[in-house]
Structure 1
């Protein structure tokens, strides 16, 4: 007999942690940290989602080293950051939710001009964010990054987090190494998939070694970069099997797209070109207006749009999986549960309505008001929000 379909609103175990339900607020860069530190506004952001009913909220993005930030405002794992992170986890726990920290290294997605340190990647390449070149990472760089992930996991435990989410997607550093388009190296980190996956697997194992069974370990893994010659589903299935065999994570969250080359492949829906241009400095603003459509390409939206790809990973592994992409209502949540996923992750729908889960509990037919206009995306520079609703003071 097949296992019963889980109730998405019932408590569930994620590694050593019990969540009050199977719904996770996905990592959405909040744009609310300052000088690498937590702010009251960042705490309020996550408290709203915790009070709104999610089982766990995810703090994004917490860089493992200074050169791993996409910009210098972002939280990084330092002793200075710990008191604020502890205030944040305490506040979320007070609302009855768990809290995860997304940890990672941005690699070629980092902005070296903002960070004031060079960006690193699989190879030297022009970095449009900083107007210079990303430096090819040395073996010593990569070993440093692996150790930094382990330290981040240990600090997350000290700060009171229930889980960490290791960022292996979106062509951040580990994902860039997975990509045959970006990784043309000929050393032990390049060439066949086993070599290109070395960094991702080493990072996940370092995090598990540091975390033990004290907190849950999640990895966010690309299924498809969404660019020709990039990392795709067939290779993602193989990497998922290796990670399962390594025993390094408690669950995989399945994602897609490249922050470096094709971000809309993850988000789907309209591409907010005009809104992105409006928040950019004048030279970049003109470029966005003239050629931004080549980078920000709109894709048709439908509920559960990543499920067809994710089902192929589901068929290949037995470990818990988190479904992401167009999770907006109880109907699509239940579809994911029937398809064998253990958890679902939501982002834009909760930006529009942080209390959506509480309302779904009251009425299973409750629909999301999110229209997938993606105008929330450019707000990351001044505080991530839905532009269609008035924000709390």
Structure 2
């Protein structure tokens, strides 16, 4: 499938209203999911609401709440939002606050699988096969068929609760070697049953999840999936297999859009972010013996990759050529030029993360001045703040006027 050439189709204005499934967004810019570190005891806090209100007030079309686990053992942090009835009042308060600023709001739902923290969760981490996780210094348990059926149902239940709580969309996490992504990866999936081996069998769990989610919500809200194009790990999923998976996801007719990502939270987390690897800051944030381990061998796990605007575009183009499904371009979206380029190349939406942590009102600045440049320097020190409230550390040291506009509220974590 080839999209019409740019000259043969109208290039959308990234700042104009756009349709995402049943939802009309005020523009085509999405605040990408970045784990906020601001939930407590699996519930919404006022700090978490304030975080998303800042981005809504700053002009994005939609902000994404990350990461909301569908099952207790699927959390990477014991405080993460867990889909259960007790969470609904806080989630409703959050969606209402975002809507009051004129933006839509999405909930990222998923199961962390081998990336989960078994000690904090009090339960083994699940994976397609037995895997050793260097961060938690533990082995995963191979998920049973019963586990997988339960987790598929849990995604459907989470999506239904998201609709009840007033979310405009859910984003199903199929990336970064979380559970569904680890099943897609030939490196981590060594099963011999119907969920392993061939690519169609490795993709089975992802397809079952998105179908179950769509069935649960119907056309009440939009359904997005976040898919790895490349794990960034030898022997992992790569673009040659991601392309057919994207086609199969499209064929389910369960999705309103597909967001394209890369990297492995298990084996190569910096592959997604590009820019500097903040080894010293990561070491300082970790308990022993991980702190010493990062100091000794961290440069082998946390590699630095050169940054450029739109750094996932080259791979995403190949997915764009393969499907007609609306696509969300992620990775190095910092200003109007790369946004316009994405629109010209057939992407329907763009997603921003670090640039908005630096300046929550960047979209409004771009609306006022198309030449406005992001202040983000891609130092990635924001990555280490998830333990105390995700924020740009550089914004903390700016003028009082800037700080009041940009700084993120840190939260003191009990038993962090």
Taking structure 2 as the reference length, the TM-score comes to 0.94
Structure 1 segment 62-141 matched on structure 2, within 5 A: 62-141=68-147
The offset of 1:388, in angstroms, is 0.2
Is there any run of 5+ residues in structure 1 with no aligned partner, and where?
Answer: none
The offset of 1:248, in angstroms, is 1.1
Paired residues of 2:131 and 2:188 also in contact (CA < 8 A): no
1:295 aligns with 2:301: yes
Structure 1 segment 1-393 matched on structure 2, within 5 A: 2-390=8-396, 391=407
SS of the residue corresponding to residue 378 of structure 1 reads helix
The offset of 1:392, in angstroms, is 5.6
The offset of 1:211, in angstroms, is 1.1
SS of the residue corresponding to residue 289 of structure 2 reads helix
CA–CA separation in structure 1 for the residues paired with 2:137 and 2:306: 32
The offset of 1:130, in angstroms, is 3.1
The offset of 1:127, in angstroms, is 2.6
Taking structure 1 as the reference length, the TM-score comes to 0.99
Q: Which runs of 4+ in 1 moved over 6 A?
A: none
Is there any run of 5+ residues in structure 2 with no aligned partner, and where?
Answer: 1-6, 397-406, 410-416
CA–CA separation in structure 1 for the residues paired with 2:84 and 2:408: 30
Deviations 1:68-107 (A, max 9, x none): 1011110010111111000000000000000000000000
The offset of 1:241, in angstroms, is 0.4
The offset of 1:131, in angstroms, is 2.8
How many pairs align?
Answer: 393
SS of the residue corresponding to residue 91 of structure 1 reads helix
Paired residues of 1:114 and 1:130 also in contact (CA < 8 A): no
Paired residues of 1:179 and 1:231 also in contact (CA < 8 A): yes
Distance 1:298-1:230 versus aligned 2 partners, 3 A rule: same
Distance 1:162-1:260 versus aligned 2 partners, 3 A rule: same
Q: CA RMSD in A?
A: 0.8
Paired residues of 1:107 and 1:173 also in contact (CA < 8 A): yes
CA–CA separation in structure 2 for the residues paired with 1:324 and 1:167: 14
SS of the residue corresponding to residue 50 of structure 1 reads helix
